[in-house]
Amino acid sequence: MMTTASPTVAPAPATTVRKVTSRGVRRSEWAKFWSLRSSWITLTASVVVLLVFGTVAASTYSPDAPTDDGPMSSGESSDAVSLTLMGSSFASLIVGSLGVLLFAGEYSTGMIRSTLTAVPKRLPVLFAKSAVVAPLVLALPTLGALAAFQLGAAGLDGEKIALSLGDDGVLRSLLGAGVYLALVAVFGVALGALLRSPAGGIATLVGILLILPNLASLLPGSLADTLNPYFPSNAGEAASSLHQPPDALSPGAGLTVFTGWVTLALAAAAVRLKRTDA
């Protein structure tokens, strides 16, 4: 009687499961960031805005000009740093919109499902996007502000408000502008994760940074004076001011207050990201 040996079945190859690490998530977000044309276009635009507005404001400065002729006007209350940073409000909207698009853009395309499947804990995605955009915005617009100051110095040569980079408070103000813009970009990331809509996130960003401070005029005088320095944009811009008005926050206090606003937005975004589906 012959017995037939059963065929040997080769064991299935073991599947290698790679652990999701914070470094890996950051590398992934870095690659996604540079794969989008909107990323480098908006970064370049923020630098160009600072250069153009700062240089034009300095080159057209006149001590006899009225102070209420629009965003490019200059008068006796101006200083070389404020002229250099004339475009910072527009730059803040640009980098803030970049932050919004980094997160909300994935919801509009549906890519967020793949992202959160790869990173099921979710919060590393929020922190990685913030960690990618913040250093870039800190570096490039800061260089833009420094370049605008140097270019503007030529246009202000001989004027009373002329300053050099080594004068007291100048470098601190220019670096403060870079820090403020970096925080605005992270604020945009938080709004994008919280609202999940590019249009809604950008509209909210504009409302908070530009419209909210103007609403203070509708409040009673004493209450408006008390709250106005603590509005996000007013607090953040105090970090880049060379001379603070009597009712404004100091640069350090303003930066602390704006950091608090950014932290609150990130916390709200983290809660929604963990508790609701994509």
Q: Domains of the chain: which residue ranges? A: 22-275
Q: Is the pLDDT of residue 8 over 60?
A: no
CA distance 46 to 40: 10
pLDDT of residue 10: 53
pLDDT tens digits, 39-74: 989 999 999 999 999 988 888 887 765 544 444 444
pTM above 0.75, yes or no: yes
CA distance 125 to 129: 6
Do 201 and 100 form a contact (C-beta atoms < 8 A)?
Answer: yes
What's 111's DSSP letter? T
Confidence label for 230 from pLDDT (cuts 50, 70 and 90): very high
CA distance 222 to 227: 9
Cα–Cα distances (Å) from 3 to 6, 7, 9, 51, in that order, read: 9, 12, 18, 88
Cα–Cα distances (Å) from 126 to 47, 49, 175, 229, in that order, read: 25, 28, 25, 29
